[in-house]
């Protein structure tokens, strides 16, 4: 069913693809979240591939199947039917890492339950390409059309090119998100260490015999109050700051 990609591309088509890749390259440098990345990807897919009613990305792993930033309600419903049935062209594209094209839902023998249901949603043809990054499949990108035979060889060629870039973007966005989570956790840990150090200093000034004894006093207070150690330390530090501010105001 797959038409061969054209041997040459017109100057106009090359210009379109160059502009598309330039926009994706800019996102690679500035993307904030996975959602932001996918919204641009699906928007550009609709703009770039003629006949498309809606585009979307399915992120698929052993536990979760979900659509991210679908560009139209038709995408949400068509995807949800696949997830409910645990069967369909986009799941096949993601799991088997193959490009899947359906020219007409009325003639398609594969996934009969899904094709029968999706016709009522208004989908007549579709194209789905796997997203693979670093050798790992992460999902699939897809375009849906309300017209039969909307997608031919050039559409496959463009969406496959699109998918390679989108997979890199999604992998980078996930790496960025993970890095920020780690950075937040590290910052919280450092702040907790600092406030515990301040609290121990206060207890030493109040008569604790040494650093170990001051720490043991904090641990004991934490256990008695059933409160985390850094929270007890914060309360002590804040109370001393409040007392000092009160005395300064009175003076």
What is the number of other CB atoms lying within 10 angstroms of the CB of residue 122? 15
Q: Is 181-250 a CATH 3.40.50.300 domain?
A: no
For residue 247, give the 3-state DSSP assignment. helix
pLDDT, one tens digit for every residue, the chain (251 residues) = 444 444 444 555 666 666 665 555 555 444 455 667 778 788 888 988 999 999 999 988 877 888 887 899 999 999 999 999 999 999 999 999 999 999 999 999 999 999 999 999 999 999 999 999 878 888 999 999 999 999 999 999 989 988 887 787 777 766 655 656 655 665 676 678 889 999 999 999 999 999 889 988 998 898 888 888 888 999 999 998 877 766 666 65
The closest of 233, 238, 239, 226 to 192, measured between CA atoms, is: 233
pTM: 0.62
Evaluate the CA torsion angle 43, 45, 48, 52 in order and state its sign: negative
Look up residue 162 and give its two tokens: 């699109």
* Cα 55 from Cα 71, distance rounded (Å): 6
Contact indicator for 123, 102 with CB cutoff of 8 Å? no
pLDDT at position 77, please?
96
Q: Domain residue spans in the chain?
A: 11-179, 181-250
Q: In b/e form, how buried is each residue of 5-18, taking b as 16+ CB within 10 angstroms?
A: eeeeeeeeeeeebe
Q: How many CA atoms lie within 13 Å of 118's alpha carbon, on the beta-carbon side?
A: 36
Cα 64 from chain centre: 13
pLDDT at position 134, please?
79
Look up residue 212 and give its two tokens: 């170990």
Evaluate the CA torsion angle 133, 135, 141, 147 in order and state its sign: positive
| Class of 11-179 in CATH | alpha beta
User: CB burial class (10 A; 0-12, 13-18, 19+) of residue 176?
Assistant: middle
Q: How many CA atoms lie within 13 Å of 146's alpha carbon, on the beta-carbon side?
A: 8
H helix and E strand count, the chain: 8, 5
Contact indicator for 83, 117 with CB cutoff of 8 Å? no
Q: Which residue has the tokens 């979900």?
A: 66
In sequence order, the β-bridge partners of residue 56 are 142
pLDDT at position 11, please?
58
pLDDT at position 248, please?
63
Look up residue 210 and give its two tokens: 């040494």
* Cα 239 from Cα 30, distance rounded (Å): 42
């Amino acid at each position: 069913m797959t038409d061969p990609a054209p041997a040459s591309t017109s100057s106009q088509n090359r210009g379109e693809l160059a502009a598309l890749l330039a926009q994706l390259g800019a996102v690679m440098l500035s993307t904030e979240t996975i959602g932001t990345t996918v919204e641009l990807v699906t928007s550009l897919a609709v703009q770039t591939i003629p006949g498309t009613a809606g585009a979307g990305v399915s992120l698929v792993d052993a536990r979760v199947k979900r659509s991210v930033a679908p560009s139209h309600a038709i995408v949400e419903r068509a995807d949800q039917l696949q997830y409910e049935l645990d069967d369909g062209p986009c799941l096949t594209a993601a799991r088997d890492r193959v490009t899947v094209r359906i020219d007409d839902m009325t003639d398609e023998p594969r996934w009969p339950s899904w094709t029968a249901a999706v016709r009522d949603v208004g989908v007549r043809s579709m194209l789905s390409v796997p997203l693979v990054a670093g050798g790992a499949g992460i999902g699939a990108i897809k375009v849906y059309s309300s017209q039969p035979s909307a997608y031919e060889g050039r559409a496959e060629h463009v969406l496959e090119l699109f998918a390679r870039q989108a997979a890199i973007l999604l992998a980078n966005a996930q790496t960025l998100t993970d890095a920020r989570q780690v950075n937040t956790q590290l910052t919280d840990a450092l702040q907790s260490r600092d406030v515990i150090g301040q609290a121990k200093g206060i207890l030493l000034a109040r008569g604790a015999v040494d650093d170990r004894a001051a720490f043991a006093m904090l641990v004991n207070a934490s256990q008695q109050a059933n409160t985390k150690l850094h929270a007890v330390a914060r309360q002590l530090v804040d109370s001393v700051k409040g007392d000092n501010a009160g005395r300064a105001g009175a003076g």
